[in-house]
Chains A and B, each alone.
Chain A
Amino acid sequence: MTIAPNSLGETDSNATLALTHDLDRSGPGSGRPFATNEPGLIRGNMISDLERGRLSRVWSHRPQFLHLGLFITAYVLGCGFAQSLAIIPGTGISIWPPSGLFIATLVFASRYSWPWWVLGACVAELFSNFLWFHTPLPAAFLIFAGNALEAVTGAWLVNQTCKRPVRLETLRDVLAFVVLAAGVAPVASATVGSAALAWFGIQSQSFATAWPLWWIGDATGVLIVAPLALVVFQNWRGKAQLSAARWMEACVLGLIFLGIAALSLSGYLPFAYIIMPPLLWAAVRFEFRGAAVALTVLALITAVFTISGASQFAGDPESQKHNQIMLQLFLGISAFSALVVAAISRQHQAAVLTLRESLEALRDRERELSQLVDMVPSHVWRLTPDGEPTFFNKRMVDFLGLDVTDLDKQGIGRLAAMIAATVHPDDAAAFGDTLSHCLATGERFSMRYRLRRADGVYHWMSSRAEPMRDHAGLIVQWYGLCHDIDDQMQAEEALRRSELQLQQMIDAVPVRIWSAVPTGGPVYFNKRYQDHFRAVIANVERLREPRIEELLQELVHPEDAPEVLRTLLTCFETGGGSAMRFRWREKDGYRWAECRVEPRRDEDGAVVQWYGVSLDIDEEVRAREALRQASDKLAQATQAASLAELSASIAHEVNQPLAAIVANSHACHRWLGAVPPNVERAKITAERIIRDANSAADVVGRIRALFKQSTETRTNGALSSVIAEARDLVTEEAMRRGVRISVDVESDIPLVALDRVQIQQVLVNLIRNGMEAMDSGADDGVISIRVRPIGDVVQTEVRDRGRGVEFPDRIFEPFFTTKEQGMGMGLAICRSIIESHSGRLWVEKNEPRGATFIFTLPVEMEAAS
């Protein structure tokens, strides 16, 4: 880890946390207060900051006191062990276990804590020197410096080379450790130590003789102790993971190992290397830990036997040096072999484990895939390039109730057998054709067909298959997928059926239905409508995109079309529904129809669609028309009857006295003509004649009085409203006769005194006369009524375009008529009414034809003023 110079405080303490994690768990706890308690340092000099930062980091990485104490103790014991092995008289050069401990500790510890360990080692070595070596202090310090240099170099190189944490589990790690920590690093210590010995002349050692001994001693120390130390560090808090069998094996191995070691080293066995098999056994079976422990044990046993002199490495002083080297070589080779074998075993174990795991994973995967294929809710199948089925997944087998092997029959192939057994007879031919086409061309297969389920029920299936090709492009297999779309098909079928039903209903109902989008363009017409189009419009195809205006022009009676269009456009504009009646053009004439329009709206209230329905109401309208005509006739008949009755009654009333007068006159004449004349009777009859004549005069007087009776009911009224009422009364009749009534009343018409009912009768009479006059002729029948004030009268004109008046002078005489069914009383009564209102009624001829009846009514002076 590189630490940027300016990364301070919190960041640094975090970095140290990672570095000290393994060895020293209290690191972060001790580091944090330091960093946070010194905020002021950050503002000081950069360099001093850096130094202080480093120092603070070193301080924060101080090891636990217990760890340091144990380290010092172990170091001192290691020195003692070395001293006890220093068999060569006068030299302390032998196996040097502290070097292994030192390197292992530094390898394991964070780099920032190294000063502490170096300091601890220094204390331990100087203390050992005081106990055993008794070298002069400068020399001892120099020697320690060499040792420290060796440990730092070795640890640095191993850390650089090996992956942290260093576990020596791979061959590469072991070799790096052996070469760098046990081979290269001791060079420093050997050089410095040998030079120191030579310089200070201690035990009369020359540099050349001391160096190899020193190097090999340190190397052996590293090889034997460093693994053990690493094992101890790494398992400091770890739990024993060995099973009972392994423990048993470990014990047996330990016994064998101890026995062979004891026997071989004590000389009962020919040579020391016979220990190799159990040692390698330990390395193979217990790997790094086994090797480390066995090596340590071997070193201890060897040391014990050598010191006690029982070992073959013990001997006379001449051969002592040689033996010493042999001993160290024995230990070194043993250690090297054990570590290498342990690493290989470890690697092997790891490889075996990995293999087992990958095998397991592979099996899992295969199972998952197979489950996937079987559990996927579809049929999965496979065909040979010839189309022979070779695989059905479980669902398909369950569905069909047969597997591919069940299709093997005599005479026919599997495919043919499958089609015969499972595909619906109606679909079988198409299925076979499509599949063989696909097989021949390599095109993708896709089809819907009915497949027979095991219980005999056919289900709709959607099937697809694609070929898998090899590098050369040849088809190797066909893979197919097939899912049950029966529900979907059923739903689609139901939908189609309901749609059909709806369509049939829409087409069958005896109305015309249409719909349009909000912009007003027609989008749909039901069949009746379309039939209507075809029947009425000459070439329907011309109106591919019919516009409403065009359609209306084609379909609606020209008189109604503008009104209908206007109503429709208003609907579309305002969004309101409407109902209207108009005449459709049909193949043979026009028929009345009623059309209702309503919009459909979405949630926001915007119009989504317009719907219209048109209903034939021709019979209804005609029936009503007939009814109206009948009632009109009835009214007319009533009126005629009353008029006839009136005139008959008048005739009778006048006729009776006349008849009496005539009869009496004859009688009188006879009495006087008799011989002799009966004057008395003649007188009586003459008196009766006078009486009857007076009675006739009375009748006439009474009739006249009839029209004068209404004087009291007169009110001051506006003529315009009377005209409007009269017009309402004749509207129906006018429509039936095809006559238009136009009314033009000038503003500011003064009030007139009138009997509303009588004036109404006059108007109705005049209008009806006009209409009857136009019956036989022009189709542009118009009755124009015009009212205007002239002087102190209000003049009303009723103008027609009829035959005109042949006898304008006689027309107002009673019983004068030009009509076959008329009494000739209407105009006479009209004139009487008008005259009783102090007005005048006369007629003028129109140019080129027609007549204008004009009547005046005097302005009511009181009302005017």
Chain B
Amino acid sequence: MTVDQLPLRRSTPSSQQRRAEAEQPLVIIVDDDASVREALSELILSAGFLPVSFTSTRELLDADVLESPGCLILDVRMPGTSGLDLQHHLAKNGNPKPIIFLTGHGDIPMTVQAMKAGAVDFLTKPVRDQTLLDAVITGIAVDAKRRADAVIVKRNVERVETLTPREREVLREVARGRLNKQIAFDLGISEVTVKLHRGNVMRKMEAASIGELIRTWETLPAPMRQA
């Protein structure tokens, strides 16, 4: 891992401000060509972002920087695991980090494959600075949004985990839009008990209304909703 320490220390005031927010996004560059890697880092740095570069995907995976906010700039053609392979690998592991592809000689099938798999952009070398920086900003924004959503989901999951199994059942039935009577019948309990459970759920989930409860429910991961 060759994190360019120098630019970090001599970063612009704005970047220093963002760094002060502790979670400054990282722009991760993977390219086997040293001069390209160096030049891209320089460009990202000059644009006020924090670049970190790797010579191969293998090196990237070993570095454990993927959890940090930011985006990826990948060269498609590289010795070892290619950029497209890495994209596939990350998607499989539930890491939806935004990826910008760079290639010296791209073709349409390759582009389509990359875009379908969720790439932010597919750019050819040599690339215009603004194009690349726009893509980087988009990537970072997408990542930030995803991270914010993830915080809410995490909170909601934590709240759900405080529910008893019966309350979870009642929550699921309520989310499906069923009446108390129906729920009582299905679960073989009295309607009063249902109302009791429902009150507990509303309280534990910190939902002010049924609509809010349902929106919270919708943010839960699918396995949890089906369980």
Contacts and interface: CB of A to CB of B under 8 A. Distances in A.
Interface string B138-166: 00000000000000000000000000000
A658 B127 CA distance: 10
A72 to B, nearest CB: 163
Interface stretch (A523-531, A561-569, A685-693, A751-759): A685-693
Contact of A681 (B35, B42, B126): B42
Interface centre among B36, B128, B132, by most A CB within 10 Å? B36
A692 B38 CA distance: 11
Contacts of B127: 659, 662-663
Given A648-B105, A656-B33, A663-B40, A670 B46 contact: yes
Interface string B14-34: 000000000000000000010
Contacts of A472: none
A661 B39 CA distance: 7
B104 A663 contact: no
A674 B77 contact: no
Interface string B174-194: 000000000000000000000
B42 A659 contact: no
Nearest to B32: A656
Q: Which bucket holds chain A's interface residue count?
A: 20 to 34
Interface string A170-193: 000000000000000000000000
Interface string B44-60: 01110000000000000
B95 interface: no
A691 B35 contact: yes
A667 interface: yes
B218 interface: no
A664 interface: yes
A660 interface: yes
A678 B12 CA distance: 10
B129 interface: yes
B214 interface: no
B225 interface: no
B126 A659 contact: yes
Nearest to B35: A660
Contact of A660 (B33, B47, B128, B129): B33
Where chain A touches its partner, the secondary structure class is helix
A657 B104 contact: no
A752 B126 CA distance: 45
Given A659-B39, A663-B36, A652 B77 contact: yes
A494 interface: no
Interface in A504-552: none
Given A663-B126, A663-B129, A656 B105 contact: no
A365 B33 CA distance: 133
Nearest to B44: A667
Nearest to A682: B46
Nearest to A671: B46
Given A659-B126, A674-B12, A667 B35 contact: no
A670 B43 CA distance: 8
Contacts of A664: 38-39, 42-43
A432 to B, nearest CB: 96
Interface in A90-145: none
A656 B128 CA distance: 14
A663 B39 contact: yes
A655 B126 contact: yes
Interface in A215-270: none
B125 interface: yes
A660 B39 contact: yes
Interface in A625-679: 648, 651-652, 655-664, 666-667, 669-671, 674, 678
Given A651-B105, A661-B126, A656 B46 contact: no
A817 interface: no
Given A663-B40, A688-B35, A656 B125 contact: yes
A695 B35 contact: yes
Contact of B42 (A655, A658, A685): A685
A640 to B, nearest CB: 15
A441 to B, nearest CB: 102
Nearest to B45: A667
Contacts of A652: 77, 104-105
B43 A659 contact: no
Interface string B101-145: 010110000000000000000000111110010000000000000
Nearest to A680: B10
Contacts of A684: 42
A691 B35 CA distance: 9
12 contacts: A659-B102, A659-B125, A660-B35, A660-B39, A662-B125, A663-B36, A663-B39, A663-B42, A663-B126, A663-B132, A681-B45, A681-B46
Interface of A: 648, 651-652, 655-664, 666-667, 669-671, 674, 678, 681, 684-685, 688, 691-692, 695
Q: Which 9 pairs between the two chains have the least Cβ-Cβ distance?
A: A666-B129, A659-B125, A663-B39, A662-B126, A670-B46, A667-B42, A660-B35, A659-B126, A655-B104
